[in-house]
Chain A
Amino acid sequence: MSKHAAGDGQGATPGPSARPRRKRVILADSGAPVTLLRTVDELEEQTSWAEEVVSEFIRTKIRSACLLAGLAVGVLGVLPALFFLVPALSQVTVAGMALPWLLLGILPFPLLFGIGYWYNVLAEEHEKAFVGMVEK
């Protein structure tokens, strides 16, 4: 399978600057995303405006990713220390199950999924906002 991934793919395909982008010239094609193409070109040409916009976008994304990672690590990472410092907690039983087993055997999975879901929503919102701004 790797035979398809041979070498540097960049060499095989001409870069965006080498080949002018092909555009259909039609009198009135309401569906044509003319503005989108222009701003994308601007992004690819790395104007200072584009650079600023992209950096800001990346900063937003990494901020939300770090925040959610912090949430997951914070909630789960505290557990071992908590059980270590307050051994009495491991004696507690909830509905016939020892509390540590409930907290470690079942609850982390919905928690992780929930955080993942939240990030997915956030990331898609960010991207939508970014595309909206670029298209304007």
Chain B
Amino acid sequence: MDFNYWATGSIALISVATFSLGFRSSRQANTTQDFLVARRTVRSRRNAAAVSGEYLSAASFLGVAGLILKDGTDALWYPIGFTAGYLALMLFVAAPLRRSGAYTLPDFCEFRLRSAGLRRLAAIFVIFIGMLYMVPQLQGAGLTLQHIIPGVPTQLGAALVAVLVTVNVVSGGMRAITLVQAFQYWVKLFAIAAPAFVLCAVFIGDGGARGLGATGLSEPLPPRFAHGATISVETPVVLSVEAPVRLIAEGTVDGMPAAGETYWSPGTHQVAAGTRLTFAAGDPVPVVRGAVGDNADWLSPASDTDDLLTTYSLIFALFLGTMGLPHVLVRFYTNPDGQAARRTTLHVMLLLGLFYLFPTVMGALSRIYLPELLVTGQTDRAMLQLPMAVVDNVAGEILGAVIAAGAFAAFLSTSSGLLVSVAGVLSTDVFKSRVRDFRLATALAGVLPLVAALLLRPADLSLSVGMSFALAASTFCPVLVLGIWWRKITWVGAAAGMLTGGTLVLTALALTTVSGYTGGWAPWFVQQPGLVTVPLAFLAVIVMSKATQRHIPPETKHIRMRMHAPDRLGLIRDRASGLGGGGAARHALGRHRR
């Protein structure tokens, strides 16, 4: 594919719009007071758009459609889990957390359990989760840039976005992020909804799957190539073949040099990097190991026990992990009070539900139009390549440009949000929290994930995001939920829970990474550890707290009342200093109670 002017233009446009919007609104809020108090006046509807804008990451925008292309029905749990996480957040955390006045997760730990040591431990986990979450964003950016400007290595795109976001945050361009993030939600919604409608219309106009000569989605056959295709394999893959296929292979197959026509019987074949495979129109598509080969299987949910347990584990991690994501919590502080925090969450669920209808459509269309991605396993490219595969003309290029702009909005908003929250924690809890430290922290928080993104093999975007959710669910979820609702929690128990959950998930992450390089032997509870690690973490908190009851902070009753008493009673005290104490809160309360 040639250099894509439309897409380059759209990405430039979205970047410029983001920066100028951020710059313009940051000029209006200059003083500390202005900065924080202005943010507390954010109405729940705009705040909800901002939360959604920050939350819809590369994994949601590109990854979900790719996973649906590969795994079918089981991947539908990702959007459900991403949305349901906000229900858990609303039911158990949102309002009390806002009333606690804590600004970051470590801050909450110190507020509730009065332990500086616990605060530091929480800070380490926040930094780790933030960086883990940022890696797939950068890899997604690399992928997108490579798609637009062919020949560019993926590392360049990742580096570019990391530098762009870091510079932006360091120079203070993200100070007025609320408006920017809200704007980016609507960009993303448009960038996925408009192409989805157009492509669906084209698909129906073409006479559906039968008109295209593709395998229908409910037929018990593998997908077929609609046109002849030559595929270059860039990373080594193991392909499983469902129906015998005749193809031309140049390179290395099953450890033997191959040049010319070969015949693959059903079974698995190892294809080395640099191999070119040429298929004719109508050939059945061999799929990368782990993907679903057969369209009828693709359409129906998990049918073996391991898949079922993986699904449950995933649901569990997503449902409970959202509340522990550092960039989500920071946004909740911008609500005026607990009631507004609850309403914001409700709006977020509406906005997310609206958005997540579309990746499903795009994933299903990719199964028909883009079966060749199943050969290389690079299913994250589905969203980017789909428009050109459906309409191969200027219209396709424009739709592709819209999608690329949406994808860039996703990288920019999510990684900016992560960077701000991680750098915030780094600079307050590790450095001495001066402006210079904040900048140093930002640079550090931008560089480390970049190094990781360059070194690690790009796995599926949503899968690595799934791991960060599992980590958040196994470390912060128990501390938050029990901290808010259970009187007897102690800092020892909280630390024990965080360490137990954190260690287990990190071990699983390491094992999964190793297994990815050495043949994918990891069982389900290693690849998707939430179902095991979260209950263990809860258990650790409860047992260790019971054993150390003398460490219950003496102010517990007072703290609990402040978290739970209705906003009208005016007990909120914001912990961010420089705002005055109860007076300011009471004042804010009077103005924004709606």
- A residues at B contact (CB < 8 Å): 1-10, 12-14, 16, 36, 40, 43-44, 46, 50-51, 54, 57-58, 61-62, 65-66, 68-69, 72-73, 76-77, 79-81, 83-84, 87, 90-91, 93, 98, 100-101, 104-106, 108-110, 112-113, 115-117, 119-120, 123-124, 127-128, 130-131, 134
| Residues of chain B with a CB closer than 8 A to A13's CB | 573, 577, 580-582
Q: Which residues of B contact A93 (CB under 8 A)?
A: 218
**B300, A87: Cβ atoms closer than 8 Å:** yes
Closest 10 CB pairs of A and B: A2-B424, A109-B353, A13-B581, A90-B300, A9-B575, A127-B566, A83-B301, A5-B103, A104-B76, A65-B91
In the bound complex, residues from chain B placing their C-beta under 8 Å from that of A10 are 573, 575
Taking a contact as CB atoms closer than 8 A, the residue among A2, A61, A115, A127 that contacts B87 in the complex is A115
**Given A1-B438, A2-B423; 4 other pairs, CB 8 A cutoff:** A2-B438, A40-B571, A98-B218, A128-B566
- Chain A nearest CB from B572 CB (Å) reads 12
Docked Cα-Cα span, A111 to B52, in Å, equals 19
Selected contact of A105 from candidates B175, B339, B357, B485, CB within 8 Å: B357
Task: Judge if B36 is at the interface, Cβ distance under 8 Å.
Answer: yes
**CB atoms of A120 and B87 under 8 A apart:** no
Q: Report whether B356 and A109 are in contact in the complex, using a CB–CB cutoff of 8 Å.
A: yes
Interface: B84 (CB within 8 A): yes
Instruction: Check if A91 sits within 8 Å of B300, measured CB to CB.
Output: yes
Closest residue of chain B to A19 (Cβ to Cβ) is B581
Which of A12, A36, A91, A113 is in CB contact (< 8 Å) with B349?
A113
Q: B529 at the A/B interface (Cβ < 8 Å)? A: no
Flag if A8 contacts B110 (CB, 8 Å): yes
**Complex Cα gap A6–B578 (Å):** 10
CA distance A73 to B330 in the complex (A): 27
A-side binding surface: helix, strand, loop or mixed?
helix
Query: In the complex, how many angstroms separate the beta carbon of B321 from the nearest chain A beta carbon?
Result: 15
Question: What's the Cα separation between A36 and B36 when bound, in Å?
Answer: 28
Query: Provided the pairs A43-B565, A69-B88 are in contact, do residues A62 and B339 lie with their beta carbons within 8 angstroms?
Result: no
Contacts of B452 in A (CB 8 A): none
Interface string of B294-325 (1 = CB under 8 A from A): 00000111110000100110010001000000
A4–B578 alpha-carbon span in the complex (Å)? 7
The reply to whether A100 and B315 contact each other, CB–CB distance below 8 Å, is no
B434 interface contact, C-beta 8 A = yes
Answer whether residue B433 sits at the interface, using C-beta atoms and an 8 A cutoff: yes
B186 contacts across to A, CB distance below 8 A: none
Residues of A within 8 A of B104 (CB): 2, 5
Given contacts A2-B424, A105-B357, A113-B346, A12 and B577 within 8 Å (CB-CB): yes
- What's the least CB distance linking A105 to chain B, in Å? 5
Given contacts A104-B77, A127-B566, contact A46 B346 (CB under 8 A): no
Residues of B within 8 A of A73 (CB): 319
Point out the residues of chain B lying under 8 angstroms from A105, CB to CB: 76, 79, 357, 360
| Residues on the A chain within 8 Å of B70, using CB | none
Contact with A along B424-461 (1 / 0, CB 8 A): 11011000011101100000000000000000000000
A81 to B308, CA, bound (A): 7
Q: Bound state CA distance, A76 and B80, in angstroms?
A: 9
Indicate which residue in A9, A80, A116 contacts B302 across the interface (CB closer than 8 Å): A80
Contacts A1-B420, A100-B299; A6 near B581 (Cβ below 8 A) = no
- With contact pairs A83-B300, A100-B299, A101-B299 given, residues A3 and B427 touching in the complex (Cβ less than 8 Å): yes
B428 touches A2 (CB 8 A): yes
**23 CB-based A-B contacts, threshold 8 Å:** A1-B438, A4-B36, A5-B104, A5-B428, A5-B576, A9-B575, A10-B573, A13-B577, A13-B580, A14-B581, A43-B571, A54-B557, A58-B560, A66-B91, A80-B308, A87-B300, A98-B299, A100-B300, A101-B360, A104-B77, A109-B353, A116-B345, A116-B346
With the chains together, A19 CA to B77 CA distance in Å? 53
> Bound state CA distance, A69 and B36, in angstroms?
33
A113: chain B residues within 8 A (beta carbon): 346, 349-350, 353
Q: Does B83 contact A (CB under 8 A)?
A: yes
CB interface residues, B 569-594, toward A, < 8 Å: 569-571, 573-578, 580-582
Give the residue name and chain of the A residue nearest to B304 (CB). Answer: A84
Cβ contact within 8 Å between A2 and B303: no
* Contact between B428 and A6, CB atoms less than 8 A apart: yes
CB closest residue in chain B, given A82:
B301
Please indicate the chain B residues that have their CB under 8 angstroms from the CB of A115 in the complex. 87
| In the bound complex, CA of A36 to CA of B568 (Å) | 10
Contacting residue for B573 out of A7, A9, A127, CB 8 A: A9
A106: chain B residues within 8 A (beta carbon): 357
Say how far B592's CB is from chain A's closest CB, in angstroms.
Answer: 15
Chain B min CB distance to A97 (Å) = 10
| Residues of the A chain whose Cβ atoms lie less than 8 Å from the Cβ of B86 | 112, 116
A113 to B92, CA, bound (A): 16
User: Which residue of chain A has the shortest Cβ distance to B175 in the bound complex?
Assistant: A1
Q: Does B4 contact A (CB under 8 A)?
A: no
In the assembled complex, the Cα of A68 lies from the Cα of B311 at a distance in Å of: 22
